Structure 1
Amino acid sequence: MRLHRLDITAFGPFGAAQSVDFDALSTAGLFLLHGPTGAGKTSVLDAVCYALYGSVPGARQGGQGTHLRSDHAEPGTRTEVRLELTVAGRRLEITRQPPWERPKKGNRQGTTVDKAQTWLREYDAVRGAWKDLSRSHNEIGEEITQLLGMSREQFCQVVLLPQGDFARFLRADAEARGKLLGRLFDTQRFADVEKRLAERRRATEARVREGDSALLTDAHRMQQVAGDAMELPDLAAGDPGLAGAVLAAAAVARSTARERLTVAHCGLTAAESAHTRAQAELAESRELARLQHRFTEAQTRAARLAERAEEYEETRARMERGRKAETVAPALELREDAENAHRRAALEEENARRALPEDQADSGAPGLAAAARRAAEELGSLTSARRAEHRLTELLAERSGLDREERADEDTAREADTWLDGWEPARAALQARIDSAQEAASRAEALAARRDPARRRLDTARRRDRLTSEVTAAARQALDAGQRAQKLRGEWLDLKEQRLSGIAAELAAHLTDGAPCAVCGATEHPAPARKDAGHVDRDAEQRAFDAHQEAEREHGTLERRTTELQAALDAVTAEVGDTPADRIAAEVSELEREFEQARRDASALHAAHEELRRAEGEREERLQARQQSAVRAAARLTRRDTLDREQATLEAELTRARGTAESVAARAGQLERLAAVLTEAADAARTAEETAVRLKDADARLADAAYRAGFDTPGAAAEALLDPATHRALQHRLDERQSEESAVRAVLAEPETVAASRQAPADLAGAGERAAGAERRLREAASARDEAARRTTELDRLSARAEDGARRLAPLREEYDRVARLAALAAGTSADNERRMRLESYVLAARLEQVAAAATARLRLMSAGRYTLVHSDDRSGRGRSGLGLHVVDAWTGRERDTATLSGGETFFASLALALGLADVVTDEAGGVRLDTLFIDEGFGSLDDQTLDEVLDVLDSLRERDRSVGIVSHVGDLRRRIHAQLEVVKDRTGSSLRPRGV
C-alpha cells in the first residue's frame, strides 16, 4: 500500500483546505511531520485512517462524526477528506464527508444536518480517466478491508505505529499483552474453542447431574409410594452406587406391594359377597312395604267411590236427558232462524213505508209495484232534456275555459315581456360565473400539483421527529446498558478474585485419602483447606461472567441500533431540514384548505354552463309562447259567437222540460227517488208476507219433534239440551269414575298384594342399616384394593423409568469424563498441561516468538548489538505460563524483564517491536506490501549516537521504494531529515507547509 495524495477540508484543526503530496515526500524515503504541540500532527494520520475506515484511531473515534469538523471552518464549508493511494496494484481515490450541521438554505433561520457521504473511484490506465465504483458506506468499507487485509485496529498498529502503546506493551503483564496480540492476530477462534469446550463440559456435567437428580427423584417418589415397604439408603447425586442401590430398593418395594395387593383382593371378594346378600334382603323388604301400601291405598279409594255413588247417578241421568234433547235441536234451530227472519222483514217493511207518499202509505205490494212502474215511464221521457241540459253545462264550461285561457295568455305575454327585458343582465351574470369557475379549476390543478410533495414533506418531518425521539431513547438505553455492563464486569472480577483467593478450598473438596493431589501430587492430606461462609465456586463465577457477557452483547446491540437510527435520522433530516412538523402541517393544512375551496368553486362550472343553457332555452320558449298567445286570442273571438247562438236554443228547450222544478236534473231526481222508494216498499211487503208463512210452519215442526223425543213442551226440550263444554265435562266425570272403579277392583284382586296385606309390616329401617354397613365395608375393601393396585402400578412405572435413566447415565458419564479432560487441557487447568497454558495463550506465544525474532533484527542495530528480545514461557504469579517478554543484555549475559529498560532503551526497543509486529501482522494479513509507514513521537529520549543508529534502521526501511514518516517535534530531527511537512497553528486554524521537497 502506497499513499499518493491527501486532501483535507474543515477537518480537525484545519479550517481551510489543505493538501499533502506523499509522492513528493516519499522521494527522500524518510520524511518528518513536525510542528508545535496541538498544531495537528496526529490529525494528519487521523485523516488517513478516516479516509480508509470511516473512523479515527483510539479514543478519538466517536459515533456521530460531527466531532471531526474543524471549529475554525466557515459555516458553509463542508468537512471532507480525500485520499489517493495504490493497493494491490489498483490506484484508488476515497472521498469521505462526515455528517455536518449546515445553515439552512434560502432566507430561513437555523441549521440542519446533512447525512454522511462516501465515494470510491478507480483510475483506468487504459482510458486515462477515473471511473466511479460505489457510493455505499458498507460496500466501500468491505472493499478496502478486503484489499488491505487488515482491520482498523491492525492498520493503526502496523502503519500508524503508536510508540506509547508498545512502550506499555513492553511493561504490561501477560493478560494485557494477550489482549493486544489477540486483536492483531485474530485468535478469537481459539478462545471460542476454549469457550465451546467449557460450554460442552458444563452442558454434559449438567446432563449428568440432571440424570442423577432424576434418578434420586424417582427413588424418593418410590419411597413415598411404597411407604414403610421401602428403605432408601443415604445417597447423593454423583455417588457411584446410586443406580444399583435405587434399583435394589425398588425391587424389594415391588415385591411387598404385590403381596399386599393379593391380600386386598381377597378382602374385596368377601365384602362383595356380604354386600350382595344385604342388598337382596333390602330389596325384599322394600317390595313387601310397597305391596302393603298399595293394598291399603286401594281400600281407601274404594271407600271414597262408595261415598260419591249418588252424585254419579245424577250425572248419568242428566247425560241421558241431554242425548234425547239432541234429536230436537234441528227443529229448535229452524224455528229460531224463521223467527229472526220474520222479525227483520217486518222491521224493513216498516222502515220502507215511512218514506212513501201519503196517498201510497196503506197500499199493498201489488199497488206499490204499479206506482213504481208509472214513475219509471215518466223518467224515461226526460232523456232528451237531460242531454240538452248536459250540453248547456258543457257550453258554459267552455265559455269559462275561454275566459281563463284569455287571462292566462295575457299573463303569459306580460311575464314573457318582463323576463325578456332582464335577459341581457342575467346572461352576463351567468357568463361571469362560468369564467370564475374556470379560473378556480385552473387554480385547483396548480394546488393539486403542490399538495402531494407537501404531504410527503410532512410525513418525512413526522418521521424525523419520531426518529429523534427513538435516537434519544436508544442512546439513553445504550448508556444504561454500558453502565450495567461495567457494573456486571466489576462484580464478575470481584467474584473471580474471591474464587482465586479460595481456590485451595475448592481443590481440597475433591481430595480423597490415597488419591494424589492435583497440585502437589501427595497422597496424604493432613490439613485440607475448608470453604468459608462467603466462598465463591466455579458456577457462581461462570454465572457472573455469563451475565457480564450478555450485558456486553446487549450494549453492543443497543449501540449499533443507535448508530442505525442516527444514520436514518441524518438521511431524513437532510431531506426535510429542521422545519418543525407543526409548521409544515399548518402549511399543508392551508394548502389543503385552498385546494378544497378552489375545487368547490370549480365544481360550479358545470352547473353554470347548464344554467346558461337552460336560460337560453327558456328565452326561446318565452318568445314562442308570446307569439302563440296572440294566435289563440284571434281564434277565441270566432268561438264565442258560435257558443252564444247554441246557448239560446238550449235554454228554450229546457224551460219547457223541467216544469215547476228548478232544472231537468232536479225533475229527473225527483222521479228516480219516487221510483226507488216505491220499489223498495213493494219488495219489503212481499218479504214480510213470506217470512210469516215460514215461521208458522217452523212452530208446527218443533212441537212434533218435542213430542216424539218424550218432552211435554218444546221449552222442556230446550232446557235439557247440553252445550258442548258441559257435555264434555259430564262425560269426563263419568269416565274418571269408571276408570277409578276398574283400577280399585284390579288392585284388590292381585294375589301378591292380598298375600302381602296378611303379613307383618316390613322392617325397612333394619334392612337399610344392614345394607349401608355392607356397602361401607365394600367401599373400604375396594379402596384398599385400588390403593394397593395403584401403588404396585406406580412402583412398576417408576422402577422402569429408573432403569431407563440408569442405562442412559452410563454413556453420559463417559462423555462428561472425556469432555472435561479436553476442556481442562485447553483451559490450562489439567495436570497433563505442564505449562498451565490456555490454548489461545499457546497460539499467541507462538506469534510473540515471531514478533520477538523480527524485532530483534532491528533492535540489534539500534542498540549496537547489545540487546535481544526473547519470548518466555515462565509461569506467572497465578501458576500459569504467560506471554512473557524478556531482553537479553549482551554486556552482562543476563536475561531480564523488559520493564527494567531505561526511557531511551524502552523507546528503541518498542520501535523495534512495533516494526517487527508490523512485518508479522502484514504476513498474517495476506502479505499486503506496506510502502508507507508512520512513526509517532518518542525520539526526544534518545542521545545523538542512539538517534543516529535508530535513523539508520529507519533509513534501511526505504529499500524497495518504501517511505517512512516520522511524527515528532524534536528539533534535532529537523537538521537530520530534509524532507519535511510542517504543521503551523494559528488563530484561524492550522495549515500544512512542505519543506525540502
Structure 2
Amino acid sequence: MRLHRLDLTAFGPFGGTQSVDFGELSAAGLFLLHGPTGAGKTSVLDAVCYALYGSVPGARQSGQGMTLRSDHAAPGVRTEVTLELTVAGRRLEITRQPPWERPKKRGTGTTLDKAQTWLRERDAASGTWKDLSRSHQETAEEITQLLGMSREQFCQVVLLPQGDFARFLRADAEARGKLLGRLFDTRRFADVEKRLAERRRAAESRVRDGDADLLADAHRMQQAAGDTMELPELTPGEPGLAETVLGAAAVARSTARERLTAARCRLATAEAALAETDRVLDGVRERDRLQRRFAEARERAARLQERSGAHREAQTRMERARKAETVAPALELRDSAEAEHRRASGAESRARALLPASLADAGSAGLAAAARRAAGELGGLESARRAERRLTELLDERAGLDRQERADREVLEDAETWLADWEETRAGLQAGIESAQRAASRAEQLAEQREPARRRLNAARLRDRLTEDARAAGEQARVAREQALAAKQHWLDLKEQRLNGIAAELAAGLTDGEACAVCGATEHPAPARKVDGHVDRETEERALTGHQQADDHRAGAERRLAAAREALAAASAEAGDTATEQLAREAEELERQYAQARETASALHPAQERLRRAEQEHELRTAAQREAAVRAAARVGHRDRLDREHATLEEELTRARGDATSVAARAEQLERSAQWLTDAADAARTAEDAAQRLKQADARLADAAFRAGFDTPRDAAEALLDDAAHRELQRRLDAWQHEEAAVRAVLAEPETAAAAQRPPADVASAQRAAEDAGRRVREAASARDAADRRCAELDRLSARATASARRLGPLREEYDRVARMAGLTAGTSADNERRMRLESYVLAARLEQVAAAATVRLHRMSSGRYTLVHSDDRTGRGRSGLGLHVVDAWTGRERDTATLSGGETFFASLSLALGLADVVTDEAGGVRLDTLFIDEGFGSLDDQTLDEVLDVLDSLRERDRSVGIVSHVADLRRRIHAQLEVVKGRTGSELRRHGAR
C-alpha cells in the first residue's frame, strides 16, 4: 500500500482545504511531520484512517460525525477527506463526507445531510477515473479485502503508536493477550475454549438431570408400591445410584404381582354370587310388572265405560259435519257476495257526498253525461294556460332587462372613475421603476468597491497586530543577544581561569615514584595546589553548554524577528499608511450604502409587475365601457316588444278566467268536478252489479241446504266444523278406539292373567340382596384394578428407570472426555503444567515471531547490546505463555523489559512495532505496506542512538518503503530534509512542505 495524495476540507483543526502530496514527501524515504502541540499533526493520520475505514483511531472515533468537523470552517463548507493510494496494484481514490448539519437553503435553521462515500479507480489505459461504488458497506468491504487488515490492525501496523508499544513492553500477560488478540484475530481459539467450557457445563448438567430424573422415578415407584419398597437416601451424581434404584424396583414388582393374584380370586367369588342374586331379582321384577299391567288394564276398562255416552255424541256430531261440508261452497259464495255488496254501497255513498245537491239522486247514466260535459270545458282552457305561462315569462324578461341596465350603469360609472386617474397612476409607476433601476446600477458599483476595502481593512488590522508582534520580537531578540554575549563572556572567563589553574589539576594526578606527564620527573617536591575559586573541567563544560543554549535561543529569536518584519512589510504594502479606524469607517459606510442600494433595487421587479397589471386593468376597463354602451342601445327595442305582447295576453286571460282568480284555478275546478262525477258514476254501476250477485247467491244456498237434509241454511252453517275442531273431534274418536282395543288385548294375555292369580312380588328384598352382592363385586374389582395399576405403574417406571440408566452411561463417558478437554484448553488441568490457555498458546507463537522480527532492528539500534526473547515461564499465580524479556549482551543476563530506561524503551518499542508490522503483513497475505507513520517518542534519545534509529528507519528504503515521523523534536528538522509542517493560527491550521522533491 502506497499513499499518493490526501486532501482535507474543514477537517479537525483545518478550517479550509489542505493538500498533502505523499509522492513528493516519500521520495526521500524519510519525511518529518512536525508542528507545535495542538496544531493537528495527529489529525493528518486521523484523516488517512477515516478515508480508508470511515472512522478514526482509538477514542477519537466516538461521536465522529460531529467532532471531525473543524470549528474554523465556514457554515456553508462541508467536511470532506479524499485519499489517493495504490494497493494490490490498483490506483484508487476514496472520498468521504461525515454527516453534516448544514444551513437550510430557504429560511433559518439547519438540516442534516447524511454521510457520503465515493470510491473510484484509475484506468491506466485511458488515464481516466471510473466510479466503483457510492455505498459505505461496499467501499468498506473492498478496502478491507484489498488491505487484508481491520481498522485496529491498520492503526497498529501503519500508524505505529509508540506509546501503546511502550505499555506493551511493560504490560502483564493479560494486557499483551488483549492487544495481540485484536491484531491476529484469535477469537476463534477463544471461542473453542468457550465452546468446550459450555459443552462441559452442558454435559455435567445432562448427567445431573439424568440422575435427578432417575431418582424422581424411584420416588414415584416408592409411592406406587406403598409400604413394600424401601429406598435409602440418595443424591444426584452419587455412585451406584442406578443399581440401588433398579434392585429396589425388582423387589417391589414381585410383591405387587402376588397381591394381584389374590385380588383376582376374591373378584371371581363375588361375581358368581352377584350372578345368582341378579337372576332372582329379574324373576321378581317380571312378576311384579305383569301384576301391575293387569291392574292397569282393569282400571282403563272402567274409565272407558264411564265415557261411553260422550263417545256416542261425538260420533253423531261428526256425521252432521260431514253432511254440512256439501253446503260449504254455497255458504262461502253467499258470504263473498254479501261482503262485496257492502263495499260497493259504501263507495257509492262516499262518491255521491262530493257531488252538488242537484246531482245527488242522479243515476249512473246521468252522472256519466255530466262528467263528459266538464271534461269538454276543461279542454278549452289549454290555450289560456299557455298564455298565462307566457305572461309570467314576459315579466321575468322585463325584470332581467332592469337588472342588466343597473349592472351596466355601475360598470360605466366605475370605469369612468378609474380611467380619470390613469395618466397620473401610470406616471407614478414608471417613476418607481426608474428609481429601482438607478439603485441597481449603484449597487453594482458599490459591490466592486466592497472587497478591496475589506481586504485593506483586514491588512491594516494585521499590520497593527504585526507591528506589536515585531516590537515584542525585537525586544526578545535584543535580550537574547545580550544573554548570549553574557553567556559567552562567562564561558571565556571560566576557560581562562581553568587554563591558569591547569597545573593544580595535573598535580592532583601525581604519585611519588611515577613519571610526571609534563616533565617526566619521578619526584614531585612542590606540586601546585588548588586555590579558592578554582575552575574544573565540569564547570567549564556547563558554562559552554549554557553559552550554546543561549546562542540557539538568540538565533531563534532573530529568526522570529525576521519573520515578523517580513509579514509586517507585506501587510503594510497592502494596507498603506491610512489609519485602521478610518479604513473601518470607510468600509462600514460602503456596506451601509451597498445595503441601502440593494434594498432599493429589490423593488424593481415588483414595480414592473405593478405597471404591467395596471396596463392590463386599463384595457379591461376600456373594453367593459364599450360593451356596456352597446348593450344599453339594444335593450330599448327589446323593452317595446315586451310591452305590446304583455297587453295582448292580459286581454285574452281576462276572458278565460271568468269568476276564478286565474286560469289555473279555473282549470283546477273543472278537473276536480269531472273527476268526482266520473267516480260517482263508476261507484253506482258497481253497487247495482253487487246487489244482483247477492240475490243469485241466496237462491243457490237455500237449494244446497235442502238437498243436504237441513231445514234452513243457518242449521247447515252451525253444523260445519273448522279444520282445528274437525281434527280434534277425529282425534278423540280414534283415541277411544285405540284404547278399547289395547285394553281387550292386555286382558286376553295368558301370562298376565296367570301372574294376577299369584301372591304380590317383594321387589325391595330382592333389590337389597342384589345391591349387597354388587357392592362386594365392586370392592373386589377395585382392589383387583388397584393391584393391576400398581403392577403396570411399577413395570412402566422400572422400564423408564432402566432406559434412563442406559442413557446415563454414554453421558457420563462424554462428560469425562469433555471435562478433560475443557480443563486442558482453559489451563486448569493437571496435565497442563504451564497452565497455558489455548488462545495464549496461539498468541505465544505469534509473540515469538514478533520478538524474532523485532530483534533484527533492536540489535542494530542498540549497537548489538539488546535482544528481545519470548518466555513461556509463569509469573506468580498467573498463566504462562506471553512473557517478554530482553537479553543484555553486556551482562549476559536476561531481564524484564520494564527495567529499560526511557530511551531504551523507545527504540525497543519501535523495534517491536516494526516487527509486529512485518508479522501482521505476512498474516494479511503479504500485502505490501510502502508507507508507515511513527508517532512521537524521539525526544528521549541521545544523538548517537537517534542516528542509529534513523539509520534503521532509513534502511526500510531497501524494501521501497517510506516512513513518516510525527514529532516536534527540533533536532529532527536538521537531520530530515523532507518535511511537512503544521502551522496553527486563529483561522485554523495550515500545511506547508519543506525540502520535498
Normalised by the length of structure 2, the TM-score is: 0.61
Partner of 2:914: 915
Q: Distance in 2 between matches of 1:729 and 1:138?
A: 96
Q: Is the 8 A contact 1:981 1:992 kept in 2?
A: yes
Q: Distance in 1 between matches of 2:154 and 2:816?
A: 44
Change beyond 3 A, Cα 1:303–1:402: closer
Partner of 2:985: 986
Q: Is the 8 A contact 1:868 1:889 kept in 2?
A: yes
**Amino acid paired to 1:988:** T
Q: Distance in 1 between matches of 2:330 and 2:754?
A: 65
For 1:192-231, what aligned pairs fall within 5 Å after superposition?
192-231=191-230
Q: Distance in 2 between matches of 1:404 and 1:93?
A: 97
Q: Distance in 2 between matches of 1:831 and 1:733?
A: 109
* Residue 92 of structure 2 corresponds to residue 101 of structure 1: no
User: How far did residue 885 of structure 1 move?
Assistant: 0.5
* Residue 895 of structure 2 corresponds to residue 896 of structure 1: yes
Q: Distance in 1 between matches of 2:835 and 2:727?
A: 117
* Residue 256 of structure 2 corresponds to residue 257 of structure 1: yes
Partner-residue secondary structure (3-state), 2:11: coil
For 1:169-188, what aligned pairs fall within 5 Å after superposition?
169-188=168-187
**Amino acid paired to 1:845:** A
Q: Is the 8 A contact 1:876 1:882 kept in 2?
A: no
Partner of 2:844: 845
Change beyond 3 A, Cα 1:330–1:203: closer
Partner of 1:867: 866
Partner-residue secondary structure (3-state), 1:926: coil
Q: Distance in 2 between matches of 1:923 and 1:824?
A: 32
For 1:118-517, what aligned pairs fall within 5 Å after superposition?
118-298=117-297, 300=299, 308=306, 312=308, 316=312, 407=387, 411=391
Q: Is the 8 A contact 2:101 2:112 kept in 1?
A: yes
Q: Which runs of 5+ in 2 are unaligned?
A: 339-367, 410-633, 653-680
Change beyond 3 A, Cα 1:229–1:995: same
Change beyond 3 A, Cα 1:41–1:753: same
Partner of 1:3: 3
Partner of 1:596: none
Q: Distance in 2 between matches of 1:392 and 1:331?
A: 53
**Amino acid paired to 2:828:** T
Partner of 1:85: 85
Q: Distance in 2 between matches of 1:98 and 1:981?
A: 26
Partner of 2:59: 59
Change beyond 3 A, Cα 1:144–1:718: closer
For these two proteins, the number of residue pairs brought into alignment is 698
User: How far did residue 54 of structure 1 move?
Assistant: 1.0
User: How far did residue 924 of structure 1 move?
Assistant: 1.1
Q: Distance in 2 between matches of 1:948 and 1:269?
A: 115
**Amino acid paired to 1:202:** R
Q: Distance in 1 between matches of 2:858 and 2:704?
A: 160
Partner-residue secondary structure (3-state), 1:17: strand
Partner of 2:564: none
Partner-residue secondary structure (3-state), 2:15: coil
CA RMSD of aligned residues (A): 5.1
Change beyond 3 A, Cα 1:313–1:967: closer
Partner of 2:668: none
Partner of 1:41: 41
For 1:580-637, what per-residue CA distance to the aligned partner results, in whole angstroms no more than 9, with x for missing partners? xxxxxxxxxxxxxxxxxxxxxxxxxxxxxxxxxxxxxxx9xxx9xx99x99xx9xxx9
Change beyond 3 A, Cα 1:402–1:872: closer
Change beyond 3 A, Cα 1:64–1:272: farther
Partner-residue secondary structure (3-state), 1:70: coil
User: How far did residue 758 of structure 1 move?
Assistant: 4.6
Q: Is the 8 A contact 2:938 2:967 kept in 1?
A: yes
**Amino acid paired to 2:869:** V
Partner-residue secondary structure (3-state), 1:85: strand
Partner-residue secondary structure (3-state), 2:226: helix
Partner-residue secondary structure (3-state), 1:793: helix
User: How far did residue 63 of structure 1 move?
Assistant: 4.4
Q: Which runs of 5+ in 1 are unaligned?
A: 344-385, 430-618, 638-672, 707-713
Q: Distance in 2 between matches of 1:390 and 1:212?
A: 117
Partner-residue secondary structure (3-state), 1:958: helix
Partner of 1:16: 16
Normalised by the length of structure 1, the TM-score is: 0.61
Q: Distance in 1 between matches of 2:963 and 2:104?
A: 44
User: How far did residue 841 of structure 1 move?
Assistant: 0.8
**Amino acid paired to 1:51:** A
* Residue 770 of structure 2 corresponds to residue 776 of structure 1: no
* Residue 808 of structure 2 corresponds to residue 809 of structure 1: yes
**Amino acid paired to 1:71:** D
Q: Distance in 2 between matches of 1:397 and 1:236?
A: 121
Change beyond 3 A, Cα 1:816–1:737: closer
For 1:486-511, what per-residue CA distance to the aligned partner results, in whole angstroms no more than 9, with x for missing partners? xxxxxxxxxxxxxxxxxxxxxxxxxx
Partner-residue secondary structure (3-state), 1:224: helix
For 1:464-613, what aligned pairs fall within 5 Å after superposition?
none
For 1:574-653, what aligned pairs fall within 5 Å after superposition?
none
Q: Distance in 2 between matches of 1:47 and 1:698?
A: 127
Partner of 2:798: 799
Q: Is the 8 A contact 1:230 1:250 kept in 2?
A: yes
User: How far did residue 125 of structure 1 move?
Assistant: 2.7
For 1:459-508, what per-residue CA distance to the aligned partner results, in whole angstroms no more than 9, with x for missing partners? xxxxxxxxxxxxxxxxxxxxxxxxxxxxxxxxxxxxxxxxxxxxxxxxxx
Q: Is the 8 A contact 1:334 1:698 kept in 2?
A: no
Q: Which moved more, 1:868-877 or 1:200-209?
A: 200-209
Partner-residue secondary structure (3-state), 1:10: strand
Q: Which moved more, 1:246-255 or 1:778-787?
A: 246-255
Partner-residue secondary structure (3-state), 1:959: helix
Q: Distance in 2 between matches of 1:403 and 1:983?
A: 112
Q: Is the 8 A contact 1:937 1:968 kept in 2?
A: yes
Q: Is the 8 A contact 1:222 1:795 kept in 2?
A: yes
User: How far did residue 921 of structure 1 move?
Assistant: 0.9
Q: Distance in 2 between matches of 1:15 and 1:330?
A: 122
Change beyond 3 A, Cα 1:757–1:831: same
Change beyond 3 A, Cα 1:231–1:154: same
Q: Distance in 2 between matches of 1:765 and 1:396?
A: 107
Q: Distance in 2 between matches of 1:850 and 1:18?
A: 40
User: How far did residue 155 of structure 1 move?
Assistant: 0.8
Q: Is the 8 A contact 1:315 1:730 kept in 2?
A: no
Q: Distance in 1 between matches of 2:289 and 2:969?
A: 131
User: How far did residue 768 of structure 1 move?
Assistant: 2.2
Change beyond 3 A, Cα 1:802–1:698: closer
Partner-residue secondary structure (3-state), 1:822: helix
Change beyond 3 A, Cα 1:41–1:297: same
User: How far did residue 821 of structure 1 move?
Assistant: 2.4
Q: Is the 8 A contact 1:888 1:895 kept in 2?
A: yes
**Amino acid paired to 2:60:** R
User: How far did residue 992 of structure 1 move?
Assistant: 1.6
Q: Is the 8 A contact 1:93 1:121 kept in 2?
A: yes
Change beyond 3 A, Cα 1:160–1:413: closer
Partner-residue secondary structure (3-state), 1:147: helix
Change beyond 3 A, Cα 1:729–1:422: closer
User: How far did residue 955 of structure 1 move?
Assistant: 2.3
Q: Distance in 1 between matches of 2:20 and 2:330?
A: 143
Q: Is the 8 A contact 1:4 1:85 kept in 2?
A: yes
Q: Which moved more, 1:88-97 or 1:148-157?
A: 88-97
Q: Distance in 2 between matches of 1:324 and 1:828?
A: 119
User: How far did residue 292 of structure 1 move?
Assistant: 3.7
User: How far did residue 221 of structure 1 move?
Assistant: 2.4
User: How far did residue 936 of structure 1 move?
Assistant: 1.1
Q: Distance in 2 between matches of 1:727 and 1:24?
A: 129
Partner-residue secondary structure (3-state), 2:831: coil
The sequence identity of aligned pairs, in percent, is: 70
For 1:695-741, what per-residue CA distance to the aligned partner results, in whole angstroms no more than 9, with x for missing partners? 9x999x99x999xxxxxxx89x989x977699999998787777666
Q: Is the 8 A contact 1:93 1:120 kept in 2?
A: yes
**Amino acid paired to 2:253:** R
Partner of 2:75: 75
Partner-residue secondary structure (3-state), 2:14: coil
